Each structure stands twice: as C-alpha cells, then as structure tokens.
Amino acid sequence: MSGSLDVARIKKDFPILDRVTHDHRLVYLDSANSSQKPRAVIEAMEHFTEHSYANIHRAVYEIAEEATAAYEGGREAMRRFINAPSSREVIFTKNATEAINLVAYSWARHNLGEGDAILLTEMEHHANFVPWLVLREEKGVELRFIGLTEGGQLDLTDLDRLIDGVSLVAVAGISNVLGTINPVRQLADAAHDAGALLLVDGAQYTPHMATDVQALGCDFYAWTGHKMLGPSGIGGLWAREELLDAMPAFLTGGEMIRDVRLDGWTPNELPWKFEAGTPPIVEAVGLRAAVEYLEGLGMDAVREHDVELTGYALRTLTERHGDKITIHGPSEPAARGGVISFVYENVHPHDLSQVLDQSGVCVRAGHHCAKPLMRRLGVGATARASVYVYNDEADVDALNESLDEADRLFAI
C-alpha cells in the first residue's frame, strides 16, 4: 500500500486484529473510544509483571528498585512525548477525566468563586463539561461557551467579548465527535492576553498529533493512555511547575505525603504530591512501550496517515451513499482528526452499529459523551467511525459495504 505507514506490517503487531467476530475479520473503527494494543505493549506489561513487579518508592530490595525505575521510566517517556520541560510536571492519573477533575478540584476550587468565569466550548466531552458544571453549582462560577459554525469549527467571531474577564479557558484539542482540530495556540494567546489560563483536553489530540505542550502554549494539558495504544487505567496531567506548586493536593493518602503527624501533614514534592495511593505501575510500563511504538512510526507519519485515510473515507462515503449519509464536522481532511460522525437516512445509529457488527465492523453509536453538542447538531445520536495506525482502505471499504447492507435491511 502506498502511503505514510506500512499498515499491512502494523496490523501484524496487533494480536486482536487476528480474531474473527460473527464469521468476519475484525474491522476495528472505534479507536477514538479506545485503541487496540500492539504486542510490544502487551509483552512489556507481561514481562514486567513476571520479572520485576513490586510496589514503588517504598522498599529497598532489588525488584522494588526495578519497579520504581520502570514506573518513572513511563513518566520520562510521556514527558518526552508531549515535550514537557520537566518530569516533575508530568502527573499520572487514571485517565483524562481524572486529570481534568484534578484541575477543577485543586486549582479551580482554590482560586475561583463568585464573580469569576470559565470559558468552554459547545463541543466538549462530558469530561470537560461536568467538572465545571459542578463547580458552578458549588462556587457560583460563571460558565461561558464558544459556539460552533455550521462547518463544525469553533465560532471565534465573538471571542474578544467572551474571553474578557475569564480566569480559565478549557477546550478539546480535537473534538471526539466532529474531529475538528481546534486552534489551540490562538486560544492560548487570547487567554493569556485576557489574563486567563488555558486547559487543553488532549484525549483525542495526543494519540494523533505530535504533541508539544510548550509550542501549544497551554497551562494545563490532560491526556489518556488507552486511546494512544497504551493500557486503560493510566492518563495524566501536565501543568507548569509553578502552577502545580501553588495548587493544594487533590486526592490524599499514601505516596503523596512527606510527613504525617497527629497535628497535621506535609505533602510530597512534585509530581508525587498529586499521586495518592499505589499508582498504575504496570500500566506505566505499558504506556512507555506505547510511546516508543508511536515514536517508532513517527507522529508526523501517523498524522499523514490519518489525513490520507480520513480523506479516503470522506470521499468514498459521500460517493457511495450520496444524500443518504450526513457527515458532521469539517469537510476538509486537513482540518480534522481521524473521527467521522454520521447519520444514515432511515437507520438509527444503534441499529446501524448492530448491523455493522454482524460484518465484524465496530463503530460507536450514541451521544459520545457530548450531549450539549448533540443538541446543537439537532440529533439524538450519531454513528462514529474512527481510524488509527492499524486501519487501511480495506477497512473503510468494509464499512461502506456494511452500510449498504444496513440500507437494504431498513429500506422502506
């Protein structure tokens, strides 16, 4: 296959792609939900568990030393992957949701109250919505929202007015529904000019784009491991050290503590101050293997592959299904990530996804944890196909064929 990635070879690295479902090969088009794992990740976790597993930062015997080094090795890999200046600024959480909650509970509750405002967008995932709705209820913080254009982009015409006086702007790097790549750098500059901080929800961004938190200019960056070929159970937050230093602890207990006395406690130093309890140790090992796998492919090539394959999908879906299919989000592949949400005439997304499943084609149907966006689009649900490094044109062809089948079944 011509193109930026040797997908035929890559497919062989993912054991699950060998399996058969409903008598068909597995055509996995739900990586925006969670990605599959290459053998390198599976084996790294297995090898570590078999040879070096122990709790970390607590014991002096050899395997505990090894385990601590392996866990911190995961942090260093992630620091490099997002180009953070220091590993002290890279905090492990269980996922992106917890990372955003960390900012809401620690930084925002400590710094914001009545009279303060936060600027969000209408396309946010519930993970970057609900923590702020809760904060509004509890602290009386005002929430404002950047609307959308018909083409599925952020409508920035009113940005100056909306951003005036806010303390935080929180935005997805890439929308998990529309695929829109948001102008993070522009928002960072606007936020800083307005005296605000910028939080980027990078759950969909980091798996697909070379991520440089310094070039993006953000202040908080949340990411999640399971969408970037890593295991579930690990994600994280990056923030500048002086911000993290000034923030109170979030979850408390063991590991995050330096001293505990009957009359009080002192937190640990960064990054452990924000890592309460036994962390995802094996997962950090898997995450490192995932980072190294993606680095081996090269994130520029990953991005190029996304653009090529998304372009192929947009083109063939439109050619083949014409007016029957409505695709949401930007029409230009260069303006979007590898996510295609669509509605098919006369076939509800759940039914569509059920019919596709019979051909081994996995797509997600539903509101994609973005109900405000669904309301904005005027739909209750969409079907969503999303591609990643192990998908090729044959997978998109399989999607197209099973859509024909659904169309036949539900034809009036």
Partner 1 sequence: MPGLEDLYREIILDHYRNPRNRGELDAPPALRVEGFNPLCGDEVVVYLDVADDGSVNDIKISGQGCSISQSSASMMSSAVKGKSAEEARALIRAFKAMMSIHEQRLDGSEEEDPIQAEPDVKLGDLEALQGVVKFPVRIKCATLSWNTLAQGLDEAAADAPTA
Min CB(315)–ligand PLP separation in Å: 25
**CA–CA dist 96, 375 (Å, integer):** 24
Partner that binds at residue 131, options ligand PLP, partner 1, none, CB closer than 5 to 8 Å by kind: none
Partner that binds at residue 176, options partner 1, ligand PLP, none, CB closer than 5 to 8 Å by kind: ligand PLP
Count the site residues for ligand PLP by CB under 6 A: 15
Amino acid at 136: R
Q: Which of 330, 388, 377 is nearest to 349 (CA)?
A: 377
Alpha-carbon dihedral angle through residues 240, 245, 247, 253, given to the nearest 10 degrees: 120
Yes or no: say if 132 and 118 are a contact pair by the CB < 8 Å rule. yes
Min CB(371)–partner 1 separation in Å: 7
Q: Which two tokens stand for residue 81?
A: 């992957």
Yes or no: say if 106 and 275 are a contact pair by the CB < 8 Å rule. no
Of 129 and 223, which has the nearer Cβ to partner 1? Answer: 129
Min CB(171)–partner 1 separation in Å: 24
Of 392 and 407, which has the nearer Cβ to partner 1? Answer: 407
The span of 74-82, 112-120, 122-130, 271-279 binding ligand PLP (CB under 6 A) equals 122-130
Yes or no: say if 258 and 268 are a contact pair by the CB < 8 Å rule. yes
Tally of helices (H runs) and strands (E runs) in the chain: 15, 17
Ramachandran region, residue 364 (left: φ > 0; alpha: ψ -120 to 50; beta: rest): beta
* Strand-strand pairing, 325-327 and 364-366: unpaired
Radius of gyration of the chain, Cα coordinates, nearest whole angstrom: 22
Binders of ligand PLP among residues 228 to 247 (CB under 6 A) are 235
Mark 373-392 with x for binding to partner 1 (rule: CB under 8 A) and - for no binding: -x-----xx-----------
Mark 3-42 with x for binding to partner 1 (rule: CB under 8 A) and - for no binding: -------------------x--------------------
Strands (E), 173-303: 197-201, 220-224, 235-239, 257-261, 264-267
Yes or no: say if 200 and 173 are a contact pair by the CB < 8 Å rule. yes
Partner that binds at residue 224, options partner 1, ligand PLP, none, CB closer than 5 to 8 Å by kind: ligand PLP
**CA–CA dist 117, 169 (Å, integer):** 9
Binders of ligand PLP among residues 156 to 195 (CB under 6 A) are 172, 176
Please confirm, yes or no, whether 369 is among the known catalytic residues: yes
Yes or no: say if 246 and 111 are a contact pair by the CB < 8 Å rule. no
Binders of partner 1 among residues 299 to 358 (CB under 8 A) are 346, 348-351, 354-355, 358
The catalytic position among 222, 352, 369, 385 is: 369
Binders of ligand PLP among residues 194 to 213 (CB under 6 A) are 201, 203-204
151 is a contact residue toward partner 1 (CB under 8 A): no
Residues taking part in catalysis: 369
List residues binding ligand PLP (CB under 6 A).
95-97, 125, 127-128, 172, 176, 201, 203-204, 224, 226, 235, 369
List residues binding partner 1 (CB under 8 A).
22, 346, 348-351, 354-355, 358, 365-367, 371, 374, 380-381, 409-410, 412
